[in-house]
Chain A
């Protein structure tokens, strides 16, 4: 179960990522709770397993088009499948790592796992997940936080 302030940590992490990495703000929609264990995903998902003081996953999921534009904004000329997977994992890693500012050192994060083109394989470990909708330019993505 997440407290409101804890959800705010992830919202801030997501907005800070876009503002700093590509110097273009993203807007965040109202976070909502999913209780059927299926928070949903797009084509590419970067998953961070959380252990230590909290247990669960944090994942960032987006469509290919959004990730391609993000790469361009970063002046990255390689838009191969490997680079797109690298990016979606790095976004998830950065937002999760930044959360330690509030959650502390015992919020242990794994290296990213990436699932591409198999959205059905993206699952949440618990029934309750918070979904933070992210809108950037014309693109939509989601940050999903599922913690015990």
Chain B
């Protein structure tokens, strides 16, 4: 699903999660003025298609998804654009998974469940530290 916005944001955000509730929650909760949501995808394949079409600067990425999981998707997105910033947002709470995601090219990891503040802090951190 491609989203249009009239905001003056300078960075484009793509949201990837198989849960509609989580996609809408991230869209509603993220309050970083310079981020504009350009689309949301429900699985890895859809995400790659939208990524090529919308060329986002930032991606929030779930890991457990049908069709193509988040780790495989991270790898492919980084291959397309090595400069993309990826925040993994996943319930998988073990350290090994977080390390694997970072090794494949993700820049941050936020564990579900999350509060609005935790989401915004994680996105801010991603934008300032990378």
Cα separation A103 to B28 with both chains bound (whole Å): 33
The answer to whether B115 and A105 touch across the interface, beta carbons within 8 angstroms, is no
The contact size tier of chain A is 20 to 34
The range of chain B's interface size is: 20 to 34
The stretch among A25-33, A75-83, A136-144 that forms the contact with chain B is A75-83
Q: Which of B2-10, B33-41, B49-57, B90-98 contacts A (4 or more CB under 8 A)?
A: B90-98
B65 at the interface (CB under 8 A from A): yes
**A76 with B113: in contact, given A100-B94, A111-B66 (CB under 8 Å)?**
no
Partner of B28, one of A75, A93, A105: A75
Task: Determine if B64 and A20 form an interchain contact, defined as CB atoms under 8 angstroms apart.
Answer: no
A122 at the A/B interface (Cβ < 8 Å)?
Answer: no
B20 at the interface (CB under 8 A from A): yes
Chain A neighbourhood of B92, CB < 8 A: 97, 100, 109
Q: Are A97 and B115 in contact (CB under 8 A)?
A: no
From B18, B28, B91, A97 is in contact (CB under 8 Å) with B91
- Judge whether B19 and A90 touch: CB under 8 Å: yes
**Count of CB-CB pairs between chains A and B under 8 Å:** 67
| A89, B97: Cβ atoms closer than 8 Å | no
B94 touches A101 (CB 8 A): yes
- What is the CA–CA distance of A90 and B19 in the complex, to the nearest angstrom? 7
A111 in contact with B21 (CB, 8 Å):
no
Known: A100-B97, A105-B96. Is A74-B21 also a contact (CB below 8 A)?
yes
Could you tell me the distance between the alpha carbons of A17 and B66 in the complex, rounded to whole angstroms? 23
Q: Which residues on the A side are within 8 Å of B64 (C-beta)?
A: 93, 97, 109-111
Binding site for A on B (CB under 8 A): 18-22, 24-25, 28, 64-66, 90-94, 96-97, 111-115
